[in-house]
Structure 1
Amino acid sequence: MNTGSISTTTTQRWLYLLPLTAVLIWAINIVVTRYAVDLIEPISISFYRWLIAWLVLTPFMLLKVIRRWQDIRPHLWQLAVLGFLGMVCYQGLAYTAAHYTTATNMGIINAFIPVFSIFFSIFILKIYPNRFAIFGVILSIFGLMYLVTQGNFATLLHGQHIFGDLLMVLAVGLYAFYGIFLQRWQLRLPLFIMLYIQVIFAVLFHIPLIMYFGLDQLNAANAPAVFYAGIFSSIFAAYLWMMAVQNLGSNRTSIFMNFIPIFTAIIAYIFLHEQWTIYHSIGGAMVLVGILLAQKK
């Protein structure tokens, strides 16, 4: 009995590497795509991202989808909703918000994904958070705010980016719904098939948008960022994230989003030689402690 208990505990601990790896990939994506902000429009990079993911996945997934079509067909509307929320709304709105607000504000607002997730879970999943989860979320968000404001919270009152901030609030709210619906529906389909169908819907949903807004051309300057987003961020990270939500739940998984600004700062320190400050150390420690508290049952 003891051996089984140890094995189960070890397995549960390894499951936390799923969301951790996913947010690391997304953090790298922030650094990789930073230089391309002024080189490609938000709707274009969002469309190319999912188009590349579809092209990469199709040779491996098309026959599997055909074989499992009878199982997939009843869940098409659910996969369409997931693709719309997680791949079109969240990504598209985040790319757009970056043109109207600061990275600091986006980082702070992105930290509210766990808050939205826990709040919506009360009504949709009937999951009521314990005191550790509530305190952990509050502490991690406070730590993230301390990190991005360098200890001066007054800077939050002087922002002039209301439109971009509202877009980002809407984006993270919709992404919280993505995690909750993924947990609620518990679709009995292989994860890669679920991902592939969502990618197809993401590409289809983008077509009317690019017909209206237009499509930028790929070039040597913006292509590396687009391909990284299309392969690593859209396929590998998304797959790991869905596995995490299925195994850990949307609340516990979403709290790992708070690692993204910390990972970004570390990567920028290594590759861009940006200064590591006391604010990164204090804020990062608070975020980590908050996440650990939120995982307590």
Structure 2
Amino acid sequence: MNTTRENGPAYLAAFLYAIIIGFSFLFVKMTISAAHPLDVLAHRFALSFLAASIPVILGWMPVRIEQKDLWPIIRLSLLSPVLFFSFQAFGLMNASSSEAGIIQASVPVFTLLLASYFLKERSSRLQKVSLLVSVAGVIFIFTMKGGSLLGSGNFQGVSLLLLSALSFAGYSVLARPLTRTFKPMELTYITLGVGFILFNIMAVGRHTVDRSLNEFFQPLTDIRYIGALLYLGILSTMITTLLSSFALSRIEASKMSVFSNFSTLVSMAAGALFLNEQLRYYHIIGSLMIILGVLGTNFLGNKRGTIDTRKQMVRAESVPQKNEV
């Protein structure tokens, strides 16, 4: 049976994930210009957790998690959303969205290294080369635009964004084995709940100490802030968590992560459509490198690696699932 065809929905989920993330940096910059990063995260996860709770409460997507199963998911949520979004929000205070985009391109490299060590995921030499080609495409675009990560005086922002990328790589690796035990909605609901609780405690606590609790609610009167928050809370938080959990249940962490480089293409298209930015020749060259790299990483695997992956899937399917009676 064709493994690529079987994993078609997972690749589609990864692609949709990349599209949504491609627009997210723009909306994050909009929100943190109107509110403190902790307030943005608190509002964002309150909205996403509320949205996720509706189908759970109505019984459309039941979540059955036993107390003994909570710790592995809580540990996962500490990487993403807690560390990933915290580093990203504070990093974007001192770095541009284009710099965030290029640092995001390092996620597949981190993921490949971590997945090879912790998950024993195997990749062929062609897949490794393809991954590097995709990353090089992002770097090429940024370099040709005249960007300089270390020469722009924003070392703190760049460092935080790099930690954000490393956190998400760790999340991808840690989530991969959990997707064989828990349903995507179960992982999504618990991780969003942890983010909702922690970010709101930190934000409200900060305002309580400063005696400025009214400032916590003030941005919610801005219609532009609300619009950006809806995108970040619903699409870029809840939906992307669902999509990534589903994709990781079907394909390797290293293959999933390389799709994040598609976000660069989306960011460029968004700039051309909404900000009237010009597309130049280096955008085209870099885009082709990204696309070829993503395709190569996912479809140039050796037969041995495919056989090993199928054996792992068979072993995972033979283990009784937590929700089976």
What is the TM-score of this pair, normalised by structure 1?
0.89
What is aligned with 2:310? none
Choose the corresponding residue for 1:21, options 16, 20, 27.
16
**Percent of pairs with identical residues:** 21
Q: 1:129 to 1:167 in 2, by over 3 A?
A: same
Question: 2:132, 2:265 → 1: CA distance?
Answer: 17
2:83 to 84, 89, 97: 89
Does residue 179 in structure 1 map to residue 155 in structure 2? no
Q: Which residue of 2 aligns with 1:139?
A: 133
Q: 2:282 aligns with which of 269, 276, 279?
A: 279
Q: Counterparts of 1:255 and 1:287 in 2: how far apart (Å)?
A: 9
CA–CA distance in 1 between the matches of 2:287 and 2:110?
21
Question: Equivalent residue for 1:72?
Answer: 66
**Cα distance 1:118–1:184, how it changes in 2: closer, same or farther (>3 A)?**
same
SS at match of 2:249: helix
Query: CA offsets per residue over residues 205-229 of structure 1, 9 Å max, x none?
Result: 2133213433353122311111111
Encode CA deviations 1:150-187: one digit per residue, 9 max, x unaligned: 2657x345231111111111111111111111112335
- Does 1:240 find its partner at 2:243? yes
Aligned to 1:270: 273
Change (3 A) 1:210 1:130: same
Mapped to 1, the partners of 2:239 and 2:166 lie a distance apart of: 23
Alignment partner, residue 53 of structure 1: 48
Give the aligned CA root-mean-square deviation in angstroms: 2.2
Which secondary structure does the structure 1 equivalent of 2:223 belong to? coil
Is the contact between residue 55 and residue 61 of structure 2 (CA under 8 Å) also seen in structure 1? no
Q: Which stretches of structure 1, 4 residues or longer, exceed 6 Å deviation after superposition?
A: none
1:62 alignment partner AA = I
2:22 is paired with a residue whose SS is helix
Alignment of 1:148-167 (within 5 A): 148-150=142-144, 155-156=148-149, 158-167=151-160
- TM-score when scaled to structure 2? 0.82
The SS at the match of 1:222 is helix
Are the aligned partners of 1:65 and 1:193 in contact in 2 as well (CA < 8 Å)? no
TM-superposed CA distance for 1:94, in Å, is 0.4
Q: Distance in 1 between matches of 2:151 and 2:125?
A: 33
Of 183, 192, 199, the match for 1:199: 192
- The answer to whether the aligner puts 1:123 opposite 2:117 as a matched pair is yes
Shift of the 99–151 alpha-carbon distance from structure 1 to 2, 3 Å rule, reads closer
The gaps in structure 2 that reach 5 residues or longer are: 208-215, 302-325
Shift of 1:203: 1.0
Determine if contact 2:179/2:248 at 8 Å carries over to the other structure.
no
- Cα deviation, residue 270, structure 1: 1.7
